A and B are shown apart, each in its own frame.
Chain A
Amino acid sequence: MLLPDDQMVDDSELRLLGDSAEAFLAARASSGRLRAGGPALDPDIWAAMAEQGWLGMCLPEAQGGLGMDASAACVLTEAFGAALLPDPFIAMALMPSLLLAALPGAGDEIAAGIAAGERLVTVAWQEAAENLAPLPRDAVVERNGDHLVLRGRKVCVPAIASAGEWLVTAVLDGASALLRVDPALRGVEVEQVLLVDGTRMGAVSFAQVRLDETAVLARGDEVERATARMIAGGQLALAAQLYGIAKASLHISLRYMETRVQFGSAIARFQSLRHRAVDLKIGLELARAALRDARRPHGAGDQAISAAKASASEAAVATSRAGIQLHGAMGFSDEADIGLYHKAALTGAAWLGSARLHRTTSTQGRGRDRESA
C-alpha cells in the first residue's frame, strides 16, 4: 500500500482522510477479487465505505454528506487507484453526489440513500463516445396525457452491472431535465460491454419508456450546470485515481528490478532499464504537477482538469505497460499485479475523455488564457 502523496495534501482534515483510506485499504486486498472476476461492487466494502462517510462526502451536510469537494475526494481515489480497489466509487458515489449536490431539493432522498450506501445509482448522461457535452440531445422525454415517455440513447454508462437505478439527463420541453429511471422498466434495453479490466459499461436505449411525472427530479439550465460540474469532478477524481495507478505501478516495478537477479546482479543494475525507469518517473512527475494544479482550492478550470486527466492517463498507461516488460514473463502472468494495474489504467484512461481528447482541450484553453493575459 502506498500513502497518498503528502505534497498533494496540505490540509490536516484531508491528511486524516488519507490516513483512514490507508487503514481501510490495508485491511482489504483487491487483487484476489480482480483475478476471480467477481462483481466490481462488493456489498460489504460498499457498506464500510458508507460507514466512513465517503460515499456522500461531496453532498452538503443538509443532504447527509460531509460537504467536501471533488478535490478532497482525490485523496481517496488516488489511494483506491494505488490499491486497485475495483468498487465504483467515482461512478456510483462521487458523480451522482456531485450532480445532486448541485440540485438542492431535487433528489434529496436519493442523495441520502447514496450516502448511506443503500441506493446503488449510476448516471447516464453521455450520448456519444468521446463527447463530453453536458447537454442532452438524443434522449428526449415528452408528455403523453398523465405520464411521460422517454426515448433515445445513452452510451458509456459506468458500473452498469452494479447499479440498481439510473439518473438520466434528457430534453424536456426544449430544456434539460434530470430523471430517475428504473432499469427494469419496459422499453429499457441495456447492452453490457465487458472492458479489458473485467468491469462493465453500458450502452442503453430507451424505446418509449413510460415514466411518472415524479420521475422528473429537476429541469432547466441548472441541470446542465450540475452535469458539467459532475463531469469535471469525475474527471479530476479519475485523474487522481490514474495517478495512484501510475505511482503504484512504478513503485512495484522498481522494487522488482531491485530484487530480480539475472547474470549475477539485480536487473536494476542494467543501464537500459535504469534509463527506462527514469523516463517513467518523469512522466509521473508531470502528471503530479498537472494534478496538483487542477486540485487547487476554489476550483480549477476545465483546461487544468483536462491537462491532469491527460497526463495522469498517459503516465498510468505508460508506467504499467513498461512495468510488464520489466517483469519479464512474470509480467505477462496473471499472478503478478502489474498486469492488473495495466488493465485498470487502460480502462480509466478511456473513460471521461481520452488523453487524445483532453490534450486538445487543454492546449486550446491555455492558448486563450495567454491571449487574454
Chain B
Amino acid sequence: MNRLEEISASVVVHRSELADAEFRAAWRAWLEEHCDVQMLRPARRLAGAPLKAWLRKLNVHGWRAPGWPREHGGMGLSFAKQLIYREELERLGVTRWLDLGETLLGPMLMRHGTQEQKATLLPRILDCSDFWCQGYSEPNAGSDLASLRTTAVRDGDDFIVNGQKIWTTFVQDATHIFTLVRTGRYERRQQGISFLLIDIETPGITRRGIRNIAGDSEFGEVFFDDVRVPSSQLLGTLDEGWTIAKSLLEFERTSIGSPFLADLALKMLNSLAERCGIADDPVFAARMKGFASELDVARLLYADLCGRFVSGEKLDSEFSMMKLVSTELFQRTAEYAVEVLTPYQAGHHDQPTRVLFEELNHLYLISRPVTIFGGTSEVQRDIISRSLLAV
C-alpha cells in the first residue's frame, strides 16, 4: 500500500462510522470542493476519459463504491448513508455517472465469484483499470431476454463465443463486457444461460457505436466471431447465469426509482419560463403548481419506500411502481416544458438562456428511453399486475 492508499483507507473506516449528519456534511464539503463547472451539469452524464478520471478521483479520496463492503475496498456504508450519498449528489446537481462494474458486476462477483475472481477483478474495478459494460440484450432478445442466441461452446479449457449483443451502454469506453450467453438447451428457456466475463480486446470481437437521437454514441453493438474465452471467466454455475442476472441488487432498486430527473426537468422548466416571460401566465402557473405537487407526492412515496427498505422490509413490486411513477413524471414534465417553451427558443435571449434551451432539448431527448431500458414500462406493468391479480 502506498502512502495515499493508506490515508484513504483510514479515511474510509472513519466515514462509514460517522453519524449520518456528519457524514452528509463531509460528503457535501468534498463535493463542493471538487466539482468544477463540468461536474455540475446534472442533465448530462459523464462518459469516456472524464468519467474514468472522476471515478479514479473518488477512489483516491475514499468516496468510491459506497455500497461495497470495506473488505472489498468499498466504503461499507449502511443503506441510510448510501441514500444520503445520493441525496447530496442530487441536491448539489452533480453531473451524473454510471459505472456498471461498481453497481451491477461488483455485487454479483462478491456473491457468486470464486476467491480468485474476487481478488483480481474487484480492485481493478475500483481503480478503473477495468471498465465494464453489460452485454445482455440482442437484436432479437430485448424485453424477451431469455430468447438470447449468443452461444458459448466448450472447447477444452475455453469457451468459443459466437453471436451479437446490442444497445450496450459505454461499449466504446469499456475494457470488459459481462454477458449472458447460451451454453445449453432446456425446456425452460431461462435455463442453459451462463454468465461469462469477457475481455473486450479478445480477438474475434468487433464493436461499433450507435448514435442515439440526442446525438451521443453512448451505446453500441458487439459482434463475437469465434471468440475464445478461458473457462475461468465463467461467473457462478454453468447454465445458471439467469439467476445471477436476475438477482436484482437490493440497493440498485432504490436508485432506479428516485424522482431526481423529474425534479431537474421541473427546475429547468421554471427557470426558462421566467427567462421567457411566461412564468406569470395564470394557466402556466397552475400547471407548474400541479407538477410541483405531483413531484412532492412522488418524493413522499419514495421516502416512505426508502425508509421501509432501510428498516429491513422486503419490497419488490413497490420499487417497480416507483420506477413507473418517477420515469413517467419525468417524461410528462419534460414534454410539457418542450411544448410550452420551444416556441420561445428563437426569441432574443442572452447566452445563458440559449445554453439552457440546448440543455432542455437534450434533457427532453434523454427522457425518452427511461421507459425503455431496465424493463419497458409495458413489461413492468405486466410484472406488477401479477402481484395484484390471482388470475
Residues on A close to B: CB < 8 A?
128-130, 153, 155-157, 191, 193-196, 201-203, 205, 261-264, 270, 272-273, 317, 321, 324-325, 328-329, 331-335, 339, 342-343, 346-347, 349-351, 353-357
B85 smallest CB distance to A (angstroms): 29
Residues A155 and B348 in contact, CB atoms below 8 Å apart: yes
Chain B hits for A270, CB < 8 A: 378
Residues of B288-338 at the interface with A, using a CB-CB cut-off of 8 Å, are 335, 338
Q: Is the interface of A mostly helix, strand, loop or mixed?
A: mixed
Provide 19 A-B residue pairs closer than 8 Å at the C-beta atoms, listed in order of the A residue. A128-B347, A129-B346, A153-B348, A193-B345, A195-B345, A196-B364, A203-B349, A205-B348, A262-B144, A263-B147, A270-B378, A325-B371, A328-B376, A329-B142, A329-B219, A335-B210, A335-B211, A350-B339, A354-B343
CB closest residue in chain B, given A333: B210
4 A-B pairs closest in CB distance = A201-B346, A339-B213, A350-B342, A334-B211
Chain B hits for A193, CB < 8 A: 345-346, 354, 357
**Which of B140, B357, B376 is in CB contact (< 8 Å) with A261?**
B140
Instruction: Name the residue among B140, B215, B347, B364 with the largest chain A CB count within 10 angstroms.
Output: B347
A72 smallest CB distance to B (angstroms): 27
**Which of B142, B339, B354, B358 is in CB contact (< 8 Å) with A354?**
B339
Interface residues on B, range: 35 or more
B27 in contact (CB, < 8 A): no
**Which of A128, A196, A328, A353 is in CB contact (< 8 Å) with B365?**
A196
B7 in contact (CB, < 8 A): no
**Which of B143, B348, B368, B381 is in CB contact (< 8 Å) with A331?**
B368
Residues B167 and A155 in contact, CB atoms below 8 Å apart: no
A162 smallest CB distance to B (angstroms): 15
Q: Is the interface of B mostly helix, strand, loop or mixed?
A: mixed
Chain A hits for B212, CB < 8 A: 332-334
B248 in contact (CB, < 8 A): no
Roughly how many angstroms separate A209 CA and B166 CA in the complex, as a whole number? 56
B137 in contact (CB, < 8 A): yes
Residues A272 and B381 in contact, CB atoms below 8 Å apart: yes
Chain B hits for A339, CB < 8 A: 213
Given contacts A156-B346, A273-B378, A328-B142, contact A343 B213 (CB under 8 A): yes
CB closest residue in chain B, given A270: B378
Roughly how many angstroms separate A342 CA and B335 CA in the complex, as a whole number? 12
Chain B hits for A263, CB < 8 A: 143-144, 147
Roughly how many angstroms separate A153 CA and B335 CA in the complex, as a whole number? 29
Roughly how many angstroms separate A328 CA and B369 CA in the complex, as a whole number? 8
B381 smallest CB distance to A (angstroms): 7
B30 in contact (CB, < 8 A): no
CB closest residue in chain B, given A197: B361
Given contacts A155-B348, A329-B372, A346-B338, contact A130 B343 (CB under 8 A): yes
CB closest residue in chain B, given A265: B144
Binary A-proximity of B137-150 (CB < 8 A = 1, otherwise 0): 10010111001000
Given contacts A196-B365, A335-B210, A339-B213, contact A191 B348 (CB under 8 A): yes
B340 smallest CB distance to A (angstroms): 6
B373 in contact (CB, < 8 A): yes
B344 in contact (CB, < 8 A): yes
Residues B137 and A354 in contact, CB atoms below 8 Å apart: no
Chain A hits for B368, CB < 8 A: 321, 324-325, 331-332
Roughly how many angstroms separate A273 CA and B378 CA in the complex, as a whole number? 8
**Which of A202, A321, A331, A356 is in CB contact (< 8 Å) with B340?**
A356
**Which of A262, A333, A342, A351 is in CB contact (< 8 Å) with B142?**
A262
Chain A hits for B46, CB < 8 A: none
Binary A-proximity of B369-384 (CB < 8 A = 1, otherwise 0): 1011100111001000
Chain B hits for A201, CB < 8 A: 345-346
A323 smallest CB distance to B (angstroms): 11
Residues B343 and A129 in contact, CB atoms below 8 Å apart: yes
B350 smallest CB distance to A (angstroms): 10
Residues B348 and A332 in contact, CB atoms below 8 Å apart: no
B356 smallest CB distance to A (angstroms): 12
Chain A hits for B143, CB < 8 A: 262-263, 328
Residues B343 and A350 in contact, CB atoms below 8 Å apart: yes
Roughly how many angstroms separate A286 CA and B343 CA in the complex, as a whole number? 23
A168 smallest CB distance to B (angstroms): 16
Given pairs A156-B347, A331-B372, 4 additional interface contacts (CB within 8 A): A325-B372, A329-B142, A329-B372, A354-B339
B276 in contact (CB, < 8 A): yes
Residues A129 and B347 in contact, CB atoms below 8 Å apart: yes
Chain B hits for A205, CB < 8 A: 348
Residues B346 and A329 in contact, CB atoms below 8 Å apart: no
Residues A332 and B342 in contact, CB atoms below 8 Å apart: no
CB closest residue in chain B, given A203: B348
Roughly how many angstroms separate A203 CA and B342 CA in the complex, as a whole number? 14
B273 smallest CB distance to A (angstroms): 12
Residues A332 and B381 in contact, CB atoms below 8 Å apart: no
**Which of A128, A332, A350, A357 is in CB contact (< 8 Å) with B213?**
A332
Chain A hits for B345, CB < 8 A: 129, 193, 195, 201, 350
